[in-house]
Amino acid sequence: MNQEDAGAFPSTSDLRVLAARASDSPGWDSESSRESNVAPEGATDDDSLFDAYSRAVTSAVRRVSPSVVNIEVHHSAGRTRSGEPRERRGGGSGFIFTPDGLILTNSHVVHDAQRIEVTTTDGHRMSATAIGDDPASDLAVLRVDEPGLTAATLGDSQQLRVGQVVIAIGAPYGFQSTVTAGVVSALGRSLRSYSGRLIDDVVQTDASLNPGNSGGPLVDSAGRVVGVNTATILPAQGICFAIGINTAKFVASRLLRDGRIRRSYIGVSAQTVPVHRRVVRFYDLPKETGALVLSVEEDSPAKRAGLREGDIIVALEGQPVAGVDDLHRVLTEVRVGVSSTLTVLRWTETLELKVVPEEAR
């Protein structure tokens, strides 16, 4: 067994923690547990630990499953020859995160949908409306008008550790309440969203995801949502990604407040390029790459600032810019309408230009 395969199984110490956590969960019957924990003849301690692992997973699933929904979307697909409207269907997963019916899911599941319907695990079907949608982070918030809904408990993705047990719940290929378990394979990954921007602080897991899992919750062994399942790498096996719940909390709060995420822009097309080592050493630049300006939009903040094609952006307001992704990252909503210093290389000289970013549309 190679090292990667070995990482798919919880360690003995992890299983002991899971056993203790499972014993504290609601509905745990200490008497029956003592009876059931009596190992049959020939059983080993490891057998008991894996039983505890199973109980912890089932306990977590029991807590969060009532909050998980299957999402069905309907898109307009033009008209038939007879003039009848034609629909294209899609779907994914999501989860209720407030008792009054707010649902988190992926942007790519519901983007531009004409009609959205959600179905709970008990088969209850409801119409949903989109509150906000952010393709740059691949997150969206929906609302259903229904009383008495069960909301999932949100955790803290900053507390995750590599090797920790996580569980993915969703509706792959329309099979509702499908559960897969695995471990956190890596933290702090970056993932390219459908809009082209990078999503930071992504959780990598080997809990299997398939089409339809998108938007469903990734939960820890205590049943707390720690991520929003979003993507897999095909044809690789066991490389799946979830957007950290801390990112999702921030995006959801902005979507609820404004209906969108405000970001700034300066109006350039750019690509990441290396900077000559002599120039890096001479100007003591913190990075060896920058964002090469390929074009500048007319009547844009960059044009008014004097930025030209061929300039290499290396910093914005003192923050290093190692390429296009860094430039996107520093152009946040706090930059909108605020004069900022843009440090650029023009041939072998450095220039500091004053730019006032505008709100991206």
pLDDT of residue 51: 81
Q: Which of 133, 134, 138, 311 is catalytic?
A: 138
Angle between helix axes 12-24 and 45-64 (nearest 10 degrees) is 50
pLDDT of residue 44: 58
What would the DSSP string read from start to end of 4-27? HHHTTS--HHHHHHHHHHHHHSTT
pLDDT of residue 14: 54
pLDDT of residue 98: 95
Q: Which of 59, 137, 193, 214 is catalytic?
A: 214
pLDDT of residue 361: 76
Q: Which of 108, 157, 326, 340 is catalytic?
A: 108
Q: Which two tokens stand for residue 343?
A: 């440090």
**Angle made by CA atoms 329, 331, 337, in degrees to the nearest 5:** 165
Q: Binning pLDDT at 50, 70 and 90, where does residue 101 land?
A: very high
**Rounded CA separation 235/256 (Å):** 36
Residue of higher predicted confidence among 119 and 24: 119
pLDDT of residue 46: 65
Whether 327 and 270 have beta carbons less than 8 Å apart is answered as yes
Is 145 annotated in the active site?
A: no
Whether 290 and 323 have beta carbons less than 8 Å apart is answered as yes
Phi, psi dihedral angles at 319 (to 5 degrees): -90, 125
Stretch 23-32: mean pLDDT? 44
Query: What residue spans of the chain are helical by DSSP H?
Result: 3-6, 12-24, 30-36, 45-64, 107-110, 245-258, 277-283, 301-305, 324-330
What amino acid occupies position 16? Answer: R
- Residue 7 predicted with pLDDT over 50: no
Query: What residue spans of 164-320 are helical by DSSP H?
Result: 245-258, 277-283, 301-305
Stretch 57-69: mean pLDDT? 93
Q: Binning pLDDT at 50, 70 and 90, where does residue 103 land?
A: very high
Is 138 annotated in the active site?
A: yes
Domain boundaries, the chain: 3-65, 68-79+87-261, 264-359
Residue of higher predicted confidence among 89 and 300: 300
Q: Binning pLDDT at 50, 70 and 90, where does residue 358 land?
A: very high
- Residue 142 predicted with pLDDT over 80: yes
**Rounded CA separation 10/231 (Å):** 23
pLDDT of residue 6: 39
- pLDDT, one tens digit per residue, over 170-186 is 887 667 778 999 999 99
pLDDT of residue 38: 47
**Rounded CA separation 243/228 (Å):** 5
Domain pair 68-79+87-261 / 264-359, same fold: no
Q: Are strands 312-316 and 139-143 parallel, antiparallel or unpaired?
A: unpaired
Please state, for a pLDDT cut of 70, what percent of the chain lies above it. Answer: 85
- Residue 291 predicted with pLDDT over 70: yes
Q: Binning pLDDT at 50, 70 and 90, where does residue 43 land?
A: low
Whether 245 and 340 have beta carbons less than 8 Å apart is answered as no
Average pLDDT value for the chain: 85
Pick from 269, 274, 194, 205: nearest CA to 238? 205
pLDDT of residue 237: 74
* Number of neighbouring beta carbons within 10 Å of residue 118: 24
Q: Are strands 319-320 and 264-265 parallel, antiparallel or unpaired?
A: unpaired
Q: Which fold has domain 68-79+87-261?
A: Thrombin, subunit H (2.40.10)
Longest dimension (CA), the chain: 81
- pLDDT, one tens digit per residue, over 233-277 is 766 677 899 999 999 999 999 999 988 888 898 999 999 999 999
- Which CATH superfamily hosts domain 264-359? PDZ domain (2.30.42.10)
**Rounded CA separation 105/252 (Å):** 10
Q: Binning pLDDT at 50, 70 and 90, where does residue 26 land?
A: very low
Phi, psi dihedral angles at 23 (to 5 degrees): -70, -20
Stretch 333-345: mean pLDDT? 94
pLDDT of residue 189: 87
Where are any strands of DSSP class E within 209-267?
217-220, 224-232, 240-244, 264-265
pLDDT of residue 34: 42
Q: Classify the C-alpha dihedral 205-207-209-215 as positive or negative.
A: negative
pLDDT of residue 28: 44
- pLDDT, one tens digit per residue, over 307-323 is 999 999 999 999 999 99
pLDDT of residue 160: 94
